[in-house]
Amino acid sequence: MTAYDDTNIFAQILRGEIPCFKVYEDDDTLCFMDIMPRTDGHCLVIPKTPCRNVLDASDAQLAAVMSTVRKVANAAKAAFDADGITLQQFNETAGGQEVFHLHFHIHPRHEGVSMRPPGKMGDTDVIKGYAERISAAL
Ligand code: AMP
């Protein structure tokens, strides 16, 4: 398997080299908003320690990340009065992964509302507001 490369954008966020809209953090994990949101409230949960994806993650990394995913997913569901939550997680390029630091996407979902296509930048003020909304529900 390819080695972890600490020049990836999420490693830069963890080092504070580039900003993010933080939702939640604890000793082991960080949750922040996706800047190209496919749903209102689309956010990402990552471990603070390095691994590319699920394939090389340790049990401890996965346990910590999933605990935060559950916590934030419940908060996002409440914050957006959502009917459900979609989790997405991609592994390696062929699996759809673009940033090679383990992350889970959390999407609040409403009945009959499709996810938007990927790759479109969101409005930063709106994203900031959504981060605050989820944080307040935590
Ligand atoms: P993937 O690896 O396929 O799960 O995609 C990476 C995700 O990271 C995409 O949804 C991007 O919109 C998101 N993304 C890329 N750069 C940033 C960033 N600087 N801050 C927040 N999200 C980002």
Q: How far apart are CA 13 and CA 69, in angstroms?
A: 18
Cα separation values, 99 from 5, 34, 71, 112, Å: 10, 12, 23, 29
* Predicted local confidence at residue 130, as pLDDT: 98
* Predicted local confidence at residue 1, as pLDDT: 81
Residue tagged active-site, from 42, 101, 103, 107: 103
CA of 137 to the centre of ligand 1 (A): 23
Q: Name the H helices within 1-138.
A: 9-14, 59-79, 124-137
Say if ligand 1 is within 6 A of residue 54 CB. Answer: no
19: which 2 tokens? 């900003």
DSSP code for 46: E
Banded pLDDT at 50 (limits 50, 70, 90):
very high
Say if ligand 1 is within 6 A of residue 22 CB. Answer: no
Banded pLDDT at 15 (limits 50, 70, 90):
very high
Mean pLDDT of 129-137: 98
pTM of the predicted protein model: 0.98
Q: Letter for the amino acid at 73?
A: A
Percent of the chain topping pLDDT 70: 100
Query: To the nearest whole number, what is the mean pLDDT of the chain?
Result: 98
Mean pLDDT of 35-58: 98
DSSP code for 119: S
Per-residue pLDDT tens over the stretch 71-126: 999 999 999 999 999 999 999 999 999 999 999 999 999 999 999 999 999 999 99
Domains in the chain, start-ordered, CATH in brackets? Answer: 9-137 (3.30.428.10)
Cα separation values, 129 from 44, 100, 135, Å: 16, 27, 10
User: Is 103 among the catalytic positions?
Assistant: yes
Q: Letter for the amino acid at 84?
A: G
